[in-house]
Structure 1
């Protein structure tokens, strides 16, 4: 399918394939009728544009949870380090300025609510039922498990859980997202939906 997005999505840094983004858009468009959408791991806002554009039409919102200090693989000296996002004054990654610029360019500042914090912090005392949760945060085992435990219980019946970077074969990629995908599958809470590329999808029973 072809989706009319408010910006040239290829100009936004990120690792989301087009078919995965379009699947997020389709599911968000339906599930935001149940409640807000929440994503973990916004980076520079590529996935957020897909989710935000889908929710804007229904006058709903996207909570975008990210500490904006980068995942393990984004750090100095690592494989996916981007020097343009490195703040040498504090010797840390900082993608928030670029994220905000992406939301401004897409006209989504009144649709997307940035939460600059980790899952563990952002989820403390969380009470808002969610129509969809998209997990694409840190790929260490601890980070992925924390993201899963923090948000899955807040998905309303009929809502969607989406998990990015599912690689059953360890030679293709890290296993932490795949491990929480297996948790969701074994939990009895979800109906498994067809995968889209590396995007695992479930519907809450």
Structure 2
């Protein structure tokens, strides 16, 4: 079923397929009674618009966690570097200005709460129950494990863990998201609901 978004999503920078975004929208729409939503790795806000729109329609909140300095692959000289997001005065990547502009254009500023910090710092004293956690942060093994260990424990029973860029075949992509997906299943605390392209959706038991 197609969904109505407040902006032309194709104009928003990001790496989320439409099918994956729509799956996130429907997940967020259905979990409002369980708790807030949280994503790790907002970048320019493509996933935030899908999730935030669902939160606005269900009177929920999305916490958007990202240091906005880019993942490993976004740095100068790397495959996914975007010069338009490089702050030449600071000599650092900075996607936050673009993220904020996109949230403003989508009229989501009252239901999307940006948390501009590394994942581990944001989680240090976290105590808000979560109905949905979407992990799409750094794809190094260390970054993915940190995101999983920091946030999966805050998902309430019946809530959802969604992990992006799961590639079972190493020839197709990095293995860190696939590794935390396997860890979640092996923990006995999550069960697979479905795979949508590279998006794995699990339910907390």
In which range does the TM-score fall when normalised by the shorter chain? over 0.9
CA–CA distance in 2 between the matches of 1:190 and 1:31? 16
Q: Which residue of 1 aligns with 2:55?
A: 55
Whether 2:120 is the aligned partner of 1:120: answer: yes
Unaligned runs of 5+ residues in structure 2 are none
Q: Which residue of 2 aligns with 1:70?
A: 70
Q: Which residue of 2 aligns with 1:140?
A: 140
Q: Which residue of 2 aligns with 1:169?
A: 169
SS of the residue corresponding to residue 64 of structure 2 reads strand
Tell me the C-alpha RMSD between the 2 structures: 0.5
Query: Taking structure 2 as the reference length, what is the TM-score of the superposition?
Result: 0.99
Whether 2:107 is the aligned partner of 1:107: answer: yes
CA–CA distance in 1 between the matches of 2:169 and 2:178? 9
Aligned residue pairs, count: 205
Q: Which residue of 2 aligns with 1:32?
A: 32
Q: Is the 8 A contact 2:66 2:117 kept in 1?
A: yes
Unaligned runs of 5+ residues in structure 1 are none
CA–CA distance in 2 between the matches of 1:90 and 1:108? 28
SS of the residue corresponding to residue 63 of structure 2 reads strand
SS of the residue corresponding to residue 78 of structure 2 reads coil
Q: How far apart are 1:32 and its partner, in Å?
A: 2.1
CA–CA distance in 2 between the matches of 1:15 and 1:57? 24
Q: Deviations over 1:76-126 (max 9, x none)?
A: 000000000001111100000000000000000000000000110000110
Structure 1 moving runs of 4+ over 6 Å: none
Whether 2:89 is the aligned partner of 1:89: answer: yes
Query: Taking structure 1 as the reference length, what is the TM-score of the superposition?
Result: 0.99
